[in-house]
Structures are given as structure tokens and as C-alpha cells.
Amino acid sequence: MVAREGAGNVARPGAVSGWFLAWRRLLTTVLRKAQRTPGLLADAIGRGASAVGDTSRKAADVALAAPGRTARAAVATSQRTAGEFTDSLGWMFGGWRRFLARVASALAVRAHTARTHVRRARATGEAAVVYARQPGTLADMSASSVDSIAALGVRSLLVGALAGIAVGWLTAGALGVPLARALSMIIWAGARLAILLALAPRDRASGLATYAAWACALIPFVLGATEGLRFLALIASAWLCLGALSALLEPRRARTMVLWAFGGQAAVIALGWLLRGGIAAIISVL
């Protein structure tokens, strides 16, 4: 009995110490956990704050970047629009400059052409005046001057024919008679040329000289608007042709050529006047 009681007493303190150790471990564990809990909470709070800060920074960056992108897009659009507008202005200015350059070039060409025509007309007029004063100077003129005077003579014949048609139509009121007289004047001019060439020497140079003298001598026919003026133009043309042919060919042959060419037409004209006068006298007597 004594032995059992001693064993029971010895076992009871061991159990109490075991409970105490267990309780101390529990308290130690709780204390450690309690000590770690603020750190964990602080870490959690820090991580949350960091996450919130990162989110806030990202949101702020997005919020700040959006107006920047909008501004950059607006700037890029403005720059592109300004570039297109500048290109349009450059194209318009370039086109306008090319147009002005072409107009200026055309005007310069026209002005140069007009000045050339004026100088040529002045030179032709001066040469024609010299020729009209002294027909023999045709032999001393250059080929271009002779050609210019010859062209002026042919144009003078045509202008005289048109003037005769206009005057005849205004005075007579019909085109039949004036047109016939104008054609007669041109046909007679061709007949004179044929006679002159038939009587001229057969070489080419003499033929060209004869043609030049005939063409240059047509200048007085610019005044051949009426029948009387055409007769005076015929006399003046004969004098010019004689002077030119005398200088270009042999004077004796020149006189023969002019006499047959112009004298034949003058005789025909005079004969026509006599016939008309005789017929009018006979009719008046009857």
C-alpha cells in the first residue's frame, strides 16, 4: 500500500510538469505567432499599398498618356494637313509659274516675230522707195531685197484688183462688171509677163531678172481701183520695168521687151476707148 502511494505521488508531479511544458510551448507558439502577426500584417499592408501604388501609377500613366497620345495624334494630323496644304500651294504656285513662263515665252516669241516683221517691212519699204525713185538700182540690190520688192508688187496687184471690185460694187451696185475688170487686170499682167519672157534671152539668169523686173513693176497697180487709175498704173509700171530691165539686161533689148509687153496693152485699151467713144457718138446721132 505504501509502495503504491509513493508511486502515485511520484507520477502526479510528472504529469503536472508535462502539462506545464505543453502550456509553455503553447504560449511560446502563440507568442511567436503574435510576434510574427504584426510583421505579416505590415507586409500584407505594404504589399497592398505597393499594389495600390502600382495600380495608381499605371492609372496615372494611362491617364497622362491618353492626352499625350491624343495630343500627338492631333499634332500629327495637323502636320499632315499642313503638309498637304503646303504641297497644294506648291503645286498651284508651280502651275501658275509655269503658266506665266509659257505666256511670257509666247509673248516674247510674238514680240520678236512682230519686231522681225516690222524690221522686214521697214527694210522692204525703204528698198521699194529707192527702187521707185531709181528703177536701175534693182540691179545693185541684194537677192532678199529684190524678192521682198517682187512680193510687194504681186500683193499690190491683188490689192488693186480687190479695191477695183469694191469701188465698182459701191458705184454700180453689182459685182459682174467690177469682177470682170479685176480679172482682166490680172490676166493682162500675166500676158505682159509672157511677152517679156518670150523676148528675153534664153538663159536662166535673164529669165529670173525679167521676172523680178515684172513683179517689182506691179507696185503702182495698188491704186488701180478705177479704169483711169489702172491706165496710169500701167504707164508707171512700164517706166519701172524699163528702168529695171535696162540695168539688168541690154538696154536696147529692154526697150523692145517693154514696148511689146506694155505698148500692146496700151494700144488695146486705147482701141477699146475709141470703139466705145465711136459707138456712143453714133448712138447719140441716131
| pLDDT at residue 142 tops 80 | yes
- What does the pLDDT average to over 219-223? 93
Q: How confident is the model at residue 90 (pLDDT cuts 50, 70, 90)?
A: confident
**Top-confidence residue, 14 or 101:** 101
CB atoms within 10 A of CB 249: 19
Q: Which three cell numbers stand for residue 179?
A: 469682177
What average pLDDT is seen over the chain? 79
Helix (H, G, I), strand (E, B) or coil at 141: coil
Residue 46 has pLDDT above 80, yes or no: no
Give the up-direction half-sphere exposure of residue 100: CA atoms within 13 A in the CB hemisphere: 6
Check pLDDT > 70 for residue 281: yes
Write out the DSSP string of 74-108: HHHHHHHHHHHHHHHHHHHHHHHHHHHHHHHHHHH
Q: What is the share, in percent, of the chain residues with pLDDT greater than 70?
A: 72
pLDDT, average across residues 47-71: 58
pLDDT confidence of 62, banded at 50, 70, 90? low
Sign of the Cα pseudo-torsion (113, 114, 120, 124, in order): positive
- The stretch 39-46 carries a mean pLDDT of 57
Q: What is the pLDDT of residue 283?
A: 77
Which one, of 156, 136, 143, lies nearest residue 242 by Cα? 136
Report pLDDT for 158. Answer: 94
Mean pLDDT of 199-222: 93
Question: What is the model's pLDDT at position 191?
Answer: 93
Q: Which residue has the higher pLDDT, 256 or 29?
A: 256
pLDDT score for 8 = 45
In the chain, % helix, strand, coil (3-state, to 5) comes to 95, 0, 5
Which set of grid coordinates corresponds to residue 256?
523692145
**HSE-CB of 66 using CA atoms within 13 angstroms:** 5
Model confidence at 271, pLDDT cuts 50, 70, 90, reads confident
Residue 70 pLDDT: 63
CB neighbour class for 169 (10 Å; exposed up to 12, middle 13-18, buried from 19)? middle
Question: Rounded to an integer, what distance in angstroms lies between the CA atom of residue 66 and that of residue 68?
Answer: 5
Q: Is the pLDDT of residue 5 over 50?
A: no
The reported pTM is 0.61
Give a three-class secondary structure readout of 18-33: HHHHHHHHHHHHHHHH
Give the whole-angstrom CA distance, residue 245 versus residue 201: 12
pLDDT in tens, 242-268: 999 999 999 999 999 999 999 888 888
